[in-house]
Structure 1
Amino acid sequence: MEEDQISVLQSPLVLNQERSHGFSGEVHQQEGYYREEVVEEVKKQLGLALPLIAVSLLQYSLQVISIMFVGHLGELPLSGASMATSFASVTGFSVLLGMGSALETLCGQAYGAKQYHMLGVYTQRAMLILTVLSIPLAFIWFYTSTILISLGQDHEISIEAGKFNRWMIPSLFAYGLLQCLNRFLQTQNIVIPMMISSGITALFHIFVCWVLVFGFGLGSKGAALANAISNWVNVIFFMAYVKFSPICMKTWTGFSEEAYHEVLSFLKLAIPSAIMICLEYWSFEMVVLLSGLLPNPKLETSVLSISLNTCWMVYMISVGLGGAISTRVSNELGGGHPQSARLAVCVMTIVAISEGAIVAAITIAFRHLWGRLYSNEEEVITYVAKMMPLLALSDFLDGFQCVLSGAARGCGWQNLCAFINLGAYYVVAIPCAVLFAFFFHIGGMGLWMGIICGLCVQVVALITINLCTNWDTEARKAVNRVQKTGVLIE
């Protein structure tokens, strides 16, 4: 008891001399962190997060720009394109995104352990697997209209959605490769070239959309084709950088036969990663599908699609923050620095809360103007304005959970997070959404209220897990994961 009291009363100077030693001899203190440590961590995270936020927004903007162009063709093309992108996200993009996110754990921890050549091997293995996976997903996209009609969706909207997705099939293969290259560069803290490439592609996409939609008169099909063209342009930029940049010489040593080995080992992490992300993404997209069953489905689908696109666009900010914390945690754990990983999570949590509050305030302030960017219909604009306060709350919660989920990916907790997401969204969110929308007759706003209930459960669960984490144990697990590749840590 006396020793505890002395410990509490010690001066910072004495504490600095008597810091306890963690895994791999890392120096840290149990009572807290020093100001210089926090400041240094903030600098590292902002240097990663700001460019990654830009990358996420710019890459997602391709879809938003296409929807905006189609929105000015009329209500039916907008509903069809919105339904198509929701279906494409559920059956394609979210699956590839989830599978690719396994590289955040593998590449991040290998980079922290200084096993640089393994980053190229992991990435090539992921590129191979995601390309093969894209083939059956392309068949699903080809029959989009048939599937939607069989699910009871509006016939006209389903036909429009089917046309859109057939023209977007080439984008599927590009998207899978892009996710792998994103993680390969991100885990090495190479983010500025990613931002520049994505920025050039976004500007190019505006031009391509205008030419194909209005110049060649292809309408919504032109917007879908523009998505494919722009995604492939970005992939080419990334591949050229990886191939010719001296920065990637250690991590990309050419194509290796090792990429064909340990496929099952990769899938053991990639499949839970995909389940973890898909369960979350699918629940949001189900809101749009359920809106097609409400009275006045064209209005409800249009408004819910605009709301979802807005939510995903804001979510890209959180994706950037989540990518930054995933990289910091995986790098530090791979390098055997558990308390640095813990500090990174603490710092990013504060950043996420601040970012969420600012975004929520901006969302509410611009609620009467946002709908006009997507539609000329006054009914749509008014309805969007009513939805924005709910969007503000969901954006805040979603941003917070995205950062905690990023830390989980850095640790390799995909299996645990998959169960959390299953409970949060399919035991709580979707049943509540159906209850509010169809039994309490709140309509599209009720669907979104259900999603907010699920987000609350997810955030509470993730906070609890992070508070109970033994970071020394996580560092040992990370080192063991790298060693299982057959290479001893340098």
Structure 2
Amino acid sequence: MSSAKSIPSRKTSGWNLASSFASGSPIAQEILARDIAEDSEDEVVADDDFLDGEGSDNSSDGGPVLYKQPSGVAYDYRRPSMLPEVINEPVLTREERKKSRDAERSLLRDNHLIPPKHAPEERRGFWSVLYRRLFSTKVRKSPGDEEVPRITIGPSEYSPLLANADHPSVLDGEHLNAQWEAAVASGAIETTWRRETKTIATYSRSLIITFLLQYSINIASIFTVGRIGKIELGAVSLGTMTANICCFAPMQGLATSLDTLCSQAYGSGHKHLVGLQLQRMTYFLWLLTLPVAILFFFAEDILRLIVLEPRSAELAGLYLRVVIIGVPGFAAFESGKRFVQSQGLFQATTYVLLIAAPINIFVNWLLVWHFEFGFIGAPIAVAFTQNLMPVLLLLYVCFVDGSQCWGGFTKRALSNWGPMIWLALPGMIMVEAEWLAFEILTLVSSRLGTSYLAAQSILVTITSTTYMVPFPVSVAASTRVANLIGAKLVGAAKTSAKVAFFAGCLIGLFNLTMLASLRFKLPHLFTDDQEVISIVATVLPLCAVMQIFDGLAVVAHGLLRGIGKQSFGGYANILAYYLVALPIAFVAAFPLGLNLVGLHLGTTIGLVLVASVEYWYIYVSDWDKVVHEAESRNMAG
């Protein structure tokens, strides 16, 4: 299994969002070893050699890793973000290694340690000079700064035949590693806020689009049904919440184990084992569909015991009975998403959503309004879209990329489930806890009456949509800080963390301004009921203030993941939300009679507490010790 050895663990960055879910990764190694032992084909595909666009990096040394795609992301809103400690590091894909090389070269150029990519202009105009001063990512060097010797680039079997001798911008893997090690050892690698802003923005922009597209599948039914009436608006939110807690969140959590299993199978060189892991998880989730279907079928009777309004419980139960049809598709898509991501095909799900999300909006309108199906049209549209997405992903794998990891259907997928389930359970508990803290507020709001339940549906939709901006930035910041820590660049990691903090502040201020200025406009997008509109307009100013702390808190979660201290974030979230925020929300809503204002007041206090505690912990943490812990973990890996 030479390909697994081609990336020395001592130099890989210590964290990746995919491994953040892998609390039981030794179990993953056991599963992989068992599968390889049973594998008669013994297909090992070497992945050592590749071209990165600037030269050939055919070195056995993988080099420091400065690029990691956040492949473990589950595309839904999740609060609070509680992630377990990282145990070991998943392997790098070909695309990740290529982008890592590009990132290394870029930082070396910024620090004037290798020649520029392009020959400098002899004369620069005014606008060119102004642009460089404002946006250049290069580190400004003082005349007295000590220079790190550049590595002389001699010809090798991988050197381009027509390289420009005056501006040799090409470094092969061996020379790049040597120059990088010399620069890191002398402390010559620095970064600028411009570089980190550009990097975080690049990492997060596609994620923002993806998150918004995925969430649009959930909120499309709220938009279309809201115009029917406030009872229907509250019922669709109640049905969605119940489906999330009882089905979608647990399945999503169980599927996160594939972030580890598929990545390690891919890195072992036995690429067809990635398809084996996909089959196992899909079959397992489909088996769980049976008890879920029974629960959803009788959900109306259960909801009648909780919800005061019988009609809301009836419609929510109808929603759940129809959504049962889409559960197998959801399970297949969650598994398939990890299948393509483990191969570095991170845009596959984005392409699927670019097609599925507009179709979902159209089908909602078509069924609810054009064909006049009314309320039942919304869950039909959701079920249709959930079954459409795995079909689109399958077409992508068959006709675009990803089929190389499919080894065909096999009976082995029906065995070795025990370790897989044991590995998946921590992820399920984690995601379930994340969803439950906020979804429970929707359930409680139903006790206040139909109008308040409808208003809560609108408020949750608005605040969850605004959450789609800082959360991807948090993921990007986590990725970047982890990469810099893994490369032993403490100063650069701190600079990146500061940029992420200010990004969270700016996003929070933007969301605050938008919600506060549109407090009377936004409710009209969902409903025409004046009572519901009045309640939403009353609570929105508090939700607007909450945006600042929401943005800061989610960025803090990302920074804690980046320095490998996410367990502290998990404890802080549990204490803040379940022991402080929710009790305050209940007391303020009911005994004090503040209703929805009270519920969201408790949430806001929880966010303030979480953000304050986590930033304090990040500030007092010994980042040099974090680097040593990363190095020790990588060497142990």
Mark the structure with the bigger radius of gyration: 2
Q: 1:455 to 1:272 in 2, by over 3 A?
A: farther
Aligned partner (choices 199, 220, 226) of residue 375 of structure 2: 220
Query: Match of 2:528, SS?
Result: coil
Q: Which residue of structure 2 lines up, in the alignment, with residue 3 of structure 1?
A: none
> How many angstroms apart in 1 are the aligned matches of 2:517 and 2:467?
18
Q: 1:432 to 1:318 in 2, by over 3 A?
A: same
Q: 1:65 to 1:436 in 2, by over 3 A?
A: same
Q: 1:46 to 1:132 in 2, by over 3 A?
A: farther
Query: Match of 2:228, SS?
Result: coil
Query: Match of 1:196, SS?
Result: helix
Q: Is the 8 A contact 2:484 2:493 kept in 1?
A: no
Q: C-alpha displacement at 1:149, in angstroms?
A: 1.6
Q: C-alpha displacement at 1:222, in angstroms?
A: 1.1
Q: Is the 8 A contact 1:109 1:478 kept in 2?
A: no
Query: Match of 1:292, SS?
Result: helix
> How many angstroms apart in 2 are the aligned matches of 1:286 and 1:159?
19
Structure 2 residue identity aligned to 1:50: R
Structure 1 residue identity aligned to 2:527: S
Q: Which residue of structure 1 lines up, in the alignment, with residue 205 of structure 2?
A: 50
Deviation digits for residues 265-285 of structure 1 (CA, Å, limit 9, x no counterpart): 555554333333322321211
Aligned partner (choices 284, 298, 321) of residue 143 of structure 1: 298
Q: C-alpha displacement at 1:244, in angstroms?
A: 3.5
> How many angstroms apart in 1 are the aligned matches of 2:290 and 2:562?
29
> How many angstroms apart in 2 are the aligned matches of 1:61 and 1:154?
27
> How many angstroms apart in 2 are the aligned matches of 1:345 and 1:105?
26
Q: 1:264 to 1:283 in 2, by over 3 A?
A: same
Q: 1:257 to 1:306 in 2, by over 3 A?
A: same
Deviation digits for residues 362-408 of structure 1 (CA, Å, limit 9, x no counterpart): 12121110000110011211221222222223333333333444566
Structure 2 residue identity aligned to 1:150: L
Q: Does 1:291 align with 2:464?
A: no
Range 248-257 or range 195-204, more displaced: 248-257
Deviation digits for residues 318-373 of structure 1 (CA, Å, limit 9, x no counterpart): 3433444555577788xx54648946655544433332222222121211100001
Q: Does 1:281 align with 2:413?
A: no
> How many angstroms apart in 1 are the aligned matches of 2:382 and 2:432?
21
Structure 1 residue identity aligned to 2:606: G
Q: Is the 8 A contact 2:276 2:410 kept in 1?
A: yes
Q: C-alpha displacement at 1:105, in angstroms?
A: 6.1
Aligned partner (choices 306, 310, 331) of residue 458 of structure 2: 306
Query: Match of 1:316, SS?
Result: coil
Q: CA RMSD in A?
A: 3.9
Range 404-413 or range 42-51, more displaced: 404-413
Q: Which residue of structure 1 lines up, in the alignment, with residue 516 of structure 2?
A: 364
Q: Which residue of structure 1 lines up, in the alignment, with residue 122 of structure 2?
A: none
Q: Which residue of structure 2 lines up, in the alignment, with residue 272 of structure 1?
A: 426
Range 126-135 or range 195-204, more displaced: 126-135
Q: C-alpha displacement at 1:202, in angstroms?
A: 1.5
Q: Which residue of structure 2 lines up, in the alignment, with residue 488 of structure 1?
A: none
Structure 1 residue identity aligned to 2:426: P
Q: Which residue of structure 1 lines up, in the alignment, with residue 386 of structure 2?
A: 231
Q: 1:89 to 1:332 in 2, by over 3 A?
A: farther
Q: 1:181 to 1:339 in 2, by over 3 A?
A: farther
Aligned partner (choices 586, 589, 595) of residue 434 of structure 1: 586
Query: Match of 1:371, SS?
Result: helix
Q: Does 1:34 align with 2:190?
A: yes
Structure 1 residue identity aligned to 2:594: I
> How many angstroms apart in 1 are the aligned matches of 2:470 and 2:275?
27
Query: Match of 1:452, SS?
Result: helix
Higher helix residue share? 1
Q: Is the 8 A contact 2:184 2:488 kept in 1?
A: no
> How many angstroms apart in 1 are the aligned matches of 2:257 and 2:315?
34
> How many angstroms apart in 2 are the aligned matches of 1:41 and 1:260?
46
Structure 1 residue identity aligned to 2:246: T
Q: 1:191 to 1:281 in 2, by over 3 A?
A: same
Q: 1:173 to 1:407 in 2, by over 3 A?
A: farther
Q: Which residue of structure 2 lines up, in the alignment, with residue 420 of structure 1?
A: 572
Range 126-135 or range 158-167, more displaced: 126-135
Aligned partner (choices 271, 279, 288) of residue 133 of structure 1: 288
Range 457-466 or range 63-72, more displaced: 457-466
Q: Is the 8 A contact 1:436 1:442 kept in 2?
A: yes
Q: Which residue of structure 2 lines up, in the alignment, with residue 179 of structure 1?
A: 334
> How many angstroms apart in 2 are the aligned matches of 1:283 and 1:48?
28
1:368-407 alignment to 2 at 5 Å? 368-406=520-558
> How many angstroms apart in 1 are the aligned matches of 2:313 and 2:395?
39
1:186-197 alignment to 2 at 5 Å? 190-197=345-352
Q: C-alpha displacement at 1:70, in angstroms?
A: 0.8
What are the ranges of 5 or more consecutive residues in structure 2 without an aligned counterpart?
1-141, 150-176
Q: Is the 8 A contact 1:272 1:418 kept in 2?
A: no
Give the TM-score normalised by the residue count of structure 2: 0.63
Deviation digits for residues 82-106 of structure 1 (CA, Å, limit 9, x no counterpart): 2111222222222233333455566
> How many angstroms apart in 2 are the aligned matches of 1:269 and 1:332?
29
Q: Which residue of structure 2 lines up, in the alignment, with residue 14 of structure 1?
A: 146
Q: Does 1:72 align with 2:204?
A: no
> How many angstroms apart in 2 are the aligned matches of 1:254 and 1:213?
40
Q: Is the 8 A contact 1:54 1:320 kept in 2?
A: no
Query: Match of 1:14, SS?
Result: coil
Aligned partner (choices 60, 63, 76) of residue 215 of structure 2: 60
Q: Is the 8 A contact 1:433 1:446 kept in 2?
A: yes
Q: Which residue of structure 1 lines up, in the alignment, with residue 252 of structure 2?
A: 97
Give the TM-score normalised by the residue count of structure 1: 0.80
Q: Percent identity?
A: 27
Q: C-alpha displacement at 1:77, in angstroms?
A: 1.3
Q: Is the 8 A contact 1:121 1:256 kept in 2?
A: yes
Q: Is the 8 A contact 1:171 1:229 kept in 2?
A: yes
What are the ranges of 5 or more consecutive residues in structure 1 without an aligned counterpart?
1-9, 484-490
Q: Is the 8 A contact 1:420 1:458 kept in 2?
A: yes
Q: Which residue of structure 1 lines up, in the alignment, with residue 68 of structure 2?
A: none
> How many angstroms apart in 2 are the aligned matches of 1:198 and 1:475?
38
Q: 1:30 to 1:73 in 2, by over 3 A?
A: farther
Q: Is the 8 A contact 1:400 1:459 kept in 2?
A: yes
Q: 1:338 to 1:452 in 2, by over 3 A?
A: farther
Q: 1:151 to 1:379 in 2, by over 3 A?
A: closer
Range 414-423 or range 449-458, more displaced: 414-423
> How many angstroms apart in 2 are the aligned matches of 1:185 and 1:64?
26
Q: C-alpha displacement at 1:33, in angstroms?
A: 6.1
Query: Match of 1:168, SS?
Result: helix
Q: C-alpha displacement at 1:444, in angstroms?
A: 0.7
Deviation digits for residues 203-230 of structure 1 (CA, Å, limit 9, x no counterpart): 1112211222133332111110101111
Structure 1 residue identity aligned to 2:349: M
Query: Match of 1:35, SS?
Result: coil
